[in-house]
Amino acid sequence: MSSTPALEVQGLTKTYGGKLTALSDVTLSIRPGEIFALLGPNGAGKTTLIGSVCGLVKKTSGTIRLFGKDLDHDPVRPRYEVGLVPQEVNFDPFFTVAESLYIQQGYYGQQRDEARVKEVLTALSLQNKADTITRALSGGMRRRLLIAKALVHKPRLVFLDEPTAGVDVELRRDLWNYVRKLAAEGTTIVLTTHYLEEAEELADRVGVINEGKLLLVEEKKALLRRLGEKRLIVTFSAPVPETPEVARKAGATLSADGRVLTYPEREGCAPAGDILRTLYTQGLPVCDVETRHSRLEDILIEILRGKPAAATPGAA
């Protein structure tokens, strides 16, 4: 696989009317074949960044390279290698599903490829809707068609902008499986989503953007290790009058009713097993024990609240 980044942006800035800054000096490199999750709240700049790459938004300044080609020098041909699943439904309601995909192939300068259309329809469980007029499709089927349109020309880079918003669990799982397959075949995926379990399940790396600024870019597993936390939750069958001394010194806290002990296990602290051993030795009425790990959602909230981010945001 080529070492040239699938997408590279440097100093990308977009302002509206010289007052509203949608993107501020964003620098980012996305590797070929990776699944990259671009996360942030509504209005953070995710869709503006994607639109700048896809030619839907005119950047104010900065450089965008697709597969090593500067879009300022060649704004058309590199974009033939890009697919976009937008947030909004945007297809002609008077064609059938299959016709929509054939037309999409033509937009990208390709000959009608019935085998490819059949492959995409099957992958997204649309094969039984091939001859259905698109305006007759349900909301979930329309979302499937948007995804099919983005993939039918075999792009090397695919933007999935909230691809599973408002769709059923079945489609979400089908799409997850197909995204993994595409990545395994070398396709680069950039995913934006408010379903953070989706990003946690799929992403190789995570980027966090807010107010137009890229706050962090990091390997997902490293991020979960660095900012994540493991908690031991112990429930007692009867109230405990106070936190056992060993647990208290280790940072454990007891609920107001004395029935739940919470111990955030951090690096350098006593292992959770030692805390449990102490509770049992003291004869405390332990009735339930569970451990919880921080999810990507928890970490994202902490970052947006100002928790220190990675040292080198935007690094490849």
Give the domain-ending residue among 225, 241, 269.
225
In a domain, 81, yes or no: yes
Give the model's pLDDT for residue 308. Answer: 58
Q: Are residues 219 and 251 in the same domain?
A: no
Q: Within a domain: residue 252?
A: yes
Owning domain of residue 217? 7-225
- Which residue's structure tokens are 């980044």? 5
Residue type at 223 in one-letter notation: L
- Whether 257 and 273 map to the same domain: the answer is yes
Question: Do both 94 and 214 map to the same domain?
Answer: yes
Give the whole-angstrom CA distance, residue 202 versus residue 110: 30
Same domain, 54 and 14: yes
Are residues 76 and 121 both part of a single domain?
Answer: yes
Per-residue pLDDT tens digits for 213-244: 999 999 998 888 777 777 888 999 998 888 88
Give the CA distances from residue 167 to residues 171, 253, 269, in Å, rounded to whole numbers and listed in that order: 7, 40, 43
Give the pLDDT confidence score for residue 93 in this predicted structure: 82
Tokens of 188: 């680069």
Nearest CA among 90, 48, 67, 86 for reference residue 157: 67
Same domain, 45 and 175: yes
What are the φ and ψ backbone dihedral angles of 309, each rounded to 5 degrees?
A: -95, -170
Are residues 155 and 94 located together in one domain of the fold? Answer: yes
pTM (2 d.p.):
0.81
Tell me how far apart the alpha carbons of residues 236 and 210 are, in angstroms, rounded to a whole number.
Answer: 42
Task: Please report whether residue 307 resides in a domain.
Answer: no
Determine, yes or no, domain membership for 47.
yes
pLDDT at res. 235: 92
**What DSSP assignment string belongs to the chain?**
---S-SEEEEEEEEEETTTEEEEEEEEEEE-TT-EEEEE--TTSSHHHHHHHHHTSS--SEEEEEETTEETTT-SSGGGGGEEEE-SS----TTSBHHHHHHHHHHHTT----HHHHHHHHHHTT-GGGTTSBGGGS-HHHHHHHHHHHHHTT--SEEEEESTTTT--HHHHHHHHHHHHHHHHTT-EEEEE-S-HHHHHHH-SEEEEEETTEEEEEEEHHHHHHHH--EEEEEEESS--SS--HHHHHTT-EE-TTS-EEEEEE-TTSPPHHHHHHHHHHTT--EEEEEEEE--HHHHHHHHHTT----SSTT--
- Assess if residue 311 is contained within a domain: no
Question: Do 86 and 220 sit in the same domain of this protein?
Answer: yes
User: Residue 71: left (phi > 0), alpha (psi -120 to 50), or beta?
Assistant: alpha
Q: Domain with 74 in it: what CATH number? A: 3.40.50.300
Same domain, 286 and 205: no
Return the residue matching tokens 């501020």. 24
Q: Tell me the pLDDT tens digit for each residue of 181-197.
A: 999 999 999 999 888 88
Residue 23 within a domain: yes
20-30/7-16 β-pairing: antiparallel
- Whole-angstrom Cα distance, residue 166 to residue 182? 23
Are both 42 and 144 inside the same structural domain? yes
Residue 179 lies in a domain: yes
Residue ranges of the chain whose pLDDT lies below 50: 311-313
Per-chain mean pLDDT for the chain: 88
Q: Is residue 107 part of a domain?
A: yes
Give me the pLDDT at residue 280, please: 87
Do 188 and 116 reside in the same domain of the chain? yes
Domain boundary among 225, 240, 262: 225
Contact 316, 31 (CB under 8 A): yes
Structurally, the chain folds into a number of domains equal to: 2
Q: Does residue 194 share a domain with residue 121? A: yes
Boundary of a domain, candidates 182, 205, 225: 225
Residues 6+ apart with CB under 8 A from 233: 260, 261, 262, 289, 290, 291, 292
Angstrom distance (rounded) from CA 75 to CA 35:
24
CATH of the domain at 285: 3.30.70.1560
